[in-house]
Every structure is written in structure tokens, then in C-alpha cells.
Chains A and B, each alone.
Chain A
Amino acid sequence: MKLNYSMLVVGLLAGGSVQAANLYAGQAKAAAVCSQCHGVRMPSADAPFPPLGGRDPEYLKTAIKQYRDKTRVSDIMNAVAGSLTDKEINDIAHYYGNVKP
């Protein structure tokens, strides 16, 4: 998917003071870790997995961190998110946040 300059700027701004998000890194990570279930843009019409495209990046960040830290319990998500760093989570959240579903 093509990421244009304005999306990148939005991503950078939305990243806020803590960390600037790298949408390209987020896209690569999402493709490797998330897309098998959640899709690159949208999950399959038949999939039991929720869509991530266009969701609020802050919400996604919080949720993925909770899964990683096992404060939110899901056998598969605790395993999948278990090895992600804060930086990777930030990148992924902003990548999906900027995808138009």
C-alpha cells in the first residue's frame, strides 16, 4: 500500500512527544506479525478477527501493550504481542491508524 507524505506527517505528529512513529517500519512489522489474521488493510470477511485499519492509534497502542503485558488476557494475542517492543507497537498502531479501511 502506498503511504503518502501527508500520512507520514500525520503519523509523525500523532506520535507525539514520546516517540515518532515510523509508518514504513510499522507497515513491515504489521505485515510480518499482524496481517496474517487482521489483514494488510482489512481482515477477511470470514475472519473472526477485528479490523484494525482506521482505528485510533492510541487505542491500538494501549490494547497491544495490555496484550503484551498480559494485563488483558487472550491466549493468542498474549503470545503474538509478547515479543513486541514499545517502538514496534507505536509504529504498528500508527500504521493501522492511518490505513483507510
Chain B
Amino acid sequence: MKKNRTKRLNQSLLAVSIATLLSSGVAMAKSDNMHQLYEDNCSSCHGSDHGGYLAPALNAETLKGRSPTALRTIVMAGSFDTLMPPFYGKLSDDEIRGVIKHLQATPKQPNPAWTMDDMKKSLKVYVKDEASLPDKPTYKIDNIDNLIGVAARGKYGRGEGSRAIFINSVTHQKVGEIPTEVAAHIIDFNPANPRWAYVKTDTAEIFKVDLYSMQATRSIKTGFNGPGMGVSRDGKYIMAGSFVPHNAVILDADTLEPLKTFELEGIDPDGKMVSSDSGMIIGTPYADIFAIALENAGQVWIVDYKKEGFPVTKIENVGRHLHDAFLTHGGKKLMIASYDDSIVAAIDLEKRDIIKKLPAGCVPHVGGGSAVVVDGRTLGFGTNFGDCDKMVVSVWDLDTMEVVKQIPVSGGTESPAAHANAPYVAVDIISKDRRARTVQLIDKKTLEVAKTLDVGGHAYFPEYSADGKFLYISAGYNGDEVVVYDSNTLQKVASVPMESPAGIFSRGRVKYMTRGLSPDEMEQSK
């Protein structure tokens, strides 16, 4: 406790001394250049419409009354325990002053248009003849499922450090790096053809990646911001959704050409017609459908991609501010988190209806979710930001849809990892102090925290290797490595250096659908 206070004190001293030092001096840069400067340096996290995205909204309303000097200090020195980097030396003092003045005078922008034509024009082809690509991996790997992809954000959320990095999870060696220019956010693997993966960035570009030769063959910009992306079970379609603008698109997974766009809007649970951010998008092994969450409209839409015109079934009133989800029961059921109602709604994708709303701690963020079979019961694990007193991980019986237990943990959590062959469910503690360095391990049988790992950095997004033998964890934010542990002994076995690693995605996911389930589970459902 004392240590924390000292650290805070030092930081605030630092902030004050920098601010004092720089409060003199002249400034004023041109406002028109400032918009471009914002787009080039800030918008990938703060949103192209100034409405916030991963990071807070920066506009006249949100910054009203804030001291420009204090804001300048944050821009220059960055903000500890967040992803905000120091722009000292990257931007001149005049630029920093100018952009703050610009932001304090700019209202949140209306939804900028990004049409089918804009998307088509943004399509880039890096490898013209894909038939010329090698027909097997050009590096040593026994099974392509052993690949683990890491979304390395890069310190500045863009630049040299922004890459999708692929690792052989048996040897823990990097086998490929795909530069993405802007922070990579989501990596999805093609369930039908093991050679393809898709990487989506925070500025909504999607890269089609050849995992055999480890290079991008094509890319397309699907919007301004937004991580939502899913791949169909037949590997022929991708659906992507944006925060800015409020739309979604179905792409041909082969050519990345856009086939149809969807305007995301609807009646929210309070009866208001709203335009909506896209939340999670998921393809299920159970049917030829995509499910997409409309965050603000509180709806889940089901899109039949094999039917003419991609018809949509709308499930309304699912919950306020929907975000992420995971599948269970062979992909027939979807468990989707509602931030504002603090519930996880179970949806029957067959009947296209809500089964039940389950308590889910406080501001649930289920990440990729986890489900494990223990003593014949299928248990789902749900993490939550826990921005209240209740810091728990929820465990539900997914057959009966009842709460089994709310396991006390040391802080807010963001993503659970599980594997059929590993004894623990790992949850990342994200509370903004020393706890952020840690990951807690819940024993599958006792449903209690068995151990706390001090990983370092801001430890988050745990993921097991496809064989369940190793646990990969990003030591992100200021941290610069992915740390690998033995799943049973919990001894550190390797460190893979990279800049600001975030989400970790095992190719094994396409086999077990939801992390923690065994591949047999999926066989049964077919």
C-alpha cells in the first residue's frame, strides 16, 4: 500500500515539475493542420470522430474546464498504467499546444461516411498470384495449430512496433512478423483453410495473411475504428464491424472485396432509436451465420450469409451496451456481455431468442470467454472490469444456465483463458496499480484462486497453446515481452520480446471453438 502511494506521489511530482517547466513559452499552430495531426497520432485510440474508442473521447465537451497545461503534460510525458505514450520528441511543443487547443474547441464529429466505394478503393494487393505461394510452411512446425498470434500494438499504437507476431508454441520461437502500420487488435484464423489468418487493426484495416510464407497478401480498410471481426465456418466470408462509422460489412474472405454493408441502428432497451457501434462479431461452427452485437442498440443480429441478400434476424432487448461474447453447445448458444446491465445474456442461435440473463459481476467483459467441462458439467467463466466493490469471476452452469459461483479475485479482470488439458483457468487482473502486473489462476475443480503469477508490465490476455501445455501472457503497456509459463508447474519457461503486446490468439481456437472445451465437443455437435 505504502509503495503505491509513494509511486503516485512521485508521478504527480513529476507531472507538476514538467508542467511548471513548460508553462512558459509561446505557441499557436494552425487549426487545419491540427485535425490531420490528431488523425495521424491520436485517432487510432481516441476515435476518428473524437468520440473515444480504446481511450477517452477528446472533444470540447469532455475537455471542458481542463487545464491546457495539465493536458500538455499528459501528452508529453504519457500516462502511467495506460497505453498513452509520451509524445515528447515526437511532436513539437507548438504541435502539442496546437492540438490541445484544437481539441478543446472541436465538438464530437458526426459519423464520417465510409462507403462500399471507399472500401473498394482501399483494397491493396501485395501478392498478385497467390497460386505462386509455397504449399506448406516455410519454417519448422509440426502442426499449424501450434501457431500463436500476438497483436503487438507498438508503443505509439502505430509504427514499426505495430505487428502481428506469430510464434511456434512448442519452441516459443517467433516464426513470422506482419507489419500492420497501426496497432493490431484481433487475429482470426480461417477454420476451413489452415494457411490463412486475418488481422484487424484499430483503424479497421483487415490484412489477409498467408501463414505458410508469413506475409500479408491483401488488405482493405473497412472503416475508421473498430475491432469487430468474424470468419464464417466455411472460411469463405469475413464480417467486420466498426465503432466509426456505425456500420458492418461482409467481405469475400479470399479477395477481401466487400459484398454488402449494414447500417447499425435500432431501438435500444429503453425504447430509443439509436445509431450503434459494432461490438463482437462471431462465426459459429453450428451454422452458416454470423452473429453481431450492436453495442448501443442492445441488439444481436443474426446474418444468414448463404442466403440471397444476406438477410438479418434481429434479437432486441438483449442488454444495455453489449460488447463481447463466446459460444457454447457446439456453437448453438451465445453468451454475450452487457456492460451497463452487468449481465451475460444467453442466446439460442437456433431459435434466435434470448434464453436467460445471468448475473455477471460488475461491467462484464468476457474477452474470448472460457468454458470447461468439470465432472460432467459445462462451466462458463466470465471476467468483468469490476468497477465497483464486487471483484469476482462468474462461473455459470451452461446446461442449466444457473450461476454456480462468483469467485472472489484481487481486482477487475478482462479475459479468461482455459484449456481442456490445463488445470487452471487464468484471469488477468487489470486494476490500475501493482495488481495489473498479475494473473490469477483458478483451480477448475475447487473453483478457487490457487495461485497468483507476477508477470510484470501490465499483464493481460492470457492464452493457452493448442496442446494446453503452455500459458502465454502479454506483459503489455510499458512492458515489452510475452511471457510463457508451464501450464502445470507455472514455472516461467520463455520470454518473447515485442513492443506493447496485447491480444493473444491460438490457432487451436478454431478446433475447440471456445477456449477450454475439447475438440470432441465440436465433433459431437456436428
Interface residue ranges, A against B (CB under 8 Å): 1-2, 28, 31-33, 35-37, 39-49, 75-76, 78-80, 82-83
Asked whether B210 is an interface residue with its Cβ less than 8 Å from the other chain, the reply is no
Asked whether B496 is an interface residue with its Cβ less than 8 Å from the other chain, the reply is no
In the bound assembly, the distance between CA atoms of A93 and B17 in angstroms comes to: 22
Question: Quick check: B14 and A44 within 8 Å, CB to CB?
Answer: no
In the bound assembly, the distance between CA atoms of A2 and B481 in angstroms comes to: 12
Question: Quick check: A31 and B90 within 8 Å, CB to CB?
Answer: no
Question: Quick check: A46 and B160 within 8 Å, CB to CB?
Answer: yes
Question: Quick check: A2 and B161 within 8 Å, CB to CB?
Answer: no
B161 neighbours in A (Cβ, 8 Å): 44-46
Nearest chain-B residue to A48 (Cβ)?
A: B89
In the bound assembly, the distance between CA atoms of A35 and B160 in angstroms comes to: 18
A40 neighbours in B (Cβ, 8 Å): 456-457, 478-480
Question: Quick check: A33 and B478 within 8 Å, CB to CB?
Answer: no
Question: Quick check: B90 and A48 within 8 Å, CB to CB?
Answer: yes
User: Contacts A75-B22, A83-B10: A36 and B456 contacting too (C-beta < 8 A)?
Assistant: no
Asked whether B113 is an interface residue with its Cβ less than 8 Å from the other chain, the reply is no
The 8 closest A-B pairs by CB, nearest first: A44-B155, A48-B89, A45-B160, A46-B159, A79-B18, A79-B17, A35-B478, A36-B78
User: Contacts A36-B77, A36-B78, A36-B80: A79 and B479 contacting too (C-beta < 8 A)?
Assistant: no
Question: Quick check: A41 and B10 within 8 Å, CB to CB?
Answer: no
Asked whether B114 is an interface residue with its Cβ less than 8 Å from the other chain, the reply is no
B contacts with A, residue count (CB < 8 A): 37
A1 neighbours in B (Cβ, 8 Å): 456, 481, 495
User: Contacts A2-B492, A36-B77: A41 and B497 contacting too (C-beta < 8 A)?
Assistant: yes
Question: Quick check: A83 and B478 within 8 Å, CB to CB?
Answer: no
Question: Quick check: B478 and A36 within 8 Å, CB to CB?
Answer: yes
Question: Quick check: B160 and A76 within 8 Å, CB to CB?
Answer: no
Asked whether B235 is an interface residue with its Cβ less than 8 Å from the other chain, the reply is no
In the bound assembly, the distance between CA atoms of A79 and B90 in angstroms comes to: 18
User: Contacts A2-B492, A49-B89: A33 and B14 contacting too (C-beta < 8 A)?
Assistant: yes
B456 neighbours in A (Cβ, 8 Å): 1, 40
In the bound assembly, the distance between CA atoms of A33 and B12 in angstroms comes to: 11
Question: Quick check: B10 and A33 within 8 Å, CB to CB?
Answer: yes
In the bound assembly, the distance between CA atoms of A31 and B4 in angstroms comes to: 13
Nearest chain-B residue to A46 (Cβ)?
A: B159
Question: Quick check: A79 and B21 within 8 Å, CB to CB?
Answer: yes
Question: Quick check: B154 and A46 within 8 Å, CB to CB?
Answer: yes
Nearest chain-B residue to A45 (Cβ)?
A: B160
Nearest chain-A residue to B497 (Cβ)?
A: A41
Beyond A1-B456, A36-B86, 16 additional pairs, beta carbon < 8 A: A1-B495, A32-B80, A36-B78, A36-B478, A37-B88, A40-B456, A42-B497, A45-B160, A45-B161, A48-B88, A76-B18, A76-B88, A79-B14, A79-B21, A80-B14, A80-B18
Nearest chain-A residue to B22 (Cβ)?
A: A75
In the bound assembly, the distance between CA atoms of A33 and B77 in angstroms comes to: 10
Question: Quick check: B17 and A82 within 8 Å, CB to CB?
Answer: yes
Which residue of B13, B77, B160 contacts A83 across the interface (Cβ within 8 Å)? B13
Which residue of A39, A44, A82 contacts B156 across the interface (Cβ within 8 Å)? A44
Q: Within residues 121 to 159 of chain B, which ones have a CB less than 8 A from any CB in chain A?
A: 154-156, 158-159
Asked whether B194 is an interface residue with its Cβ less than 8 Å from the other chain, the reply is no
> Chain B's nearest CB lies how many Å from the CB of A72?
15
Asked whether B441 is an interface residue with its Cβ less than 8 Å from the other chain, the reply is no
Q: Mark B351-395, 1 if CB is under 8 A from A, else 0.
A: 000000000000000000000000000000000000000000000
Question: Quick check: A83 and B159 within 8 Å, CB to CB?
Answer: no
In the bound assembly, the distance between CA atoms of A11 and B21 in angstroms comes to: 34
In the bound assembly, the distance between CA atoms of A48 and B85 in angstroms comes to: 12
> Chain B's nearest CB lies how many Å from the CB of A16?
26
Question: Quick check: B497 and A78 within 8 Å, CB to CB?
Answer: no
> Chain A's nearest CB lies how many Å from the CB of B33?
20
Asked whether B205 is an interface residue with its Cβ less than 8 Å from the other chain, the reply is no
Q: Mark B1-24, 1 if CB is under 8 A from A, else 0.
A: 001000100110110011001100
